[in-house]
Amino acid sequence: MSDRSLRGMRLGAQSMETESGVEPAPRQRVEYRCEDGEQVFVTFAAEAEIPAVWVSKSGKEALLVNGERPVDPNAKPVRTHWDMLLERRSVEELEQILEDRLTKLRERRGERRTA
């Protein structure tokens, strides 16, 4: 039985093909930088679309060097106090309220001067 046993190798552990004459795919090395200055280098295929943001091994978000900052489509525009005020009142109403308040303020100041 031992004279008929086959010698083999582990399946899937090694390839039977050699790498001679094989040209690797063209690649490009891209640099990302975190806010704290940490540099991250990632290698992509030459025809790959480069993402604007990459998460580093430390878990920090890194932005593409010389790239545009990505726009978050879910981000809401900042609403200021003035914007919220204009939702409740018109400019004409606000001007009238301002005039009323200034009149009252001037009357109070006039009363204090005479006293």
Predicted TM-score (pTM) of the model is 0.46
Give the pLDDT score at 115: 39
Give the pLDDT score at 12: 66
3-state SS of 49-107 is CCCCEEECCCCCEEEECCCCCCCCCCCCCCCCHHHHHHHHCCHHHHHHHHHHHHHHHHH
Q: Which residue has the higher pLDDT, 4 or 109?
A: 109
The model's pLDDT over 73-85, given as tens digits with 9 standing for 90+, comes to 777 888 899 999 9
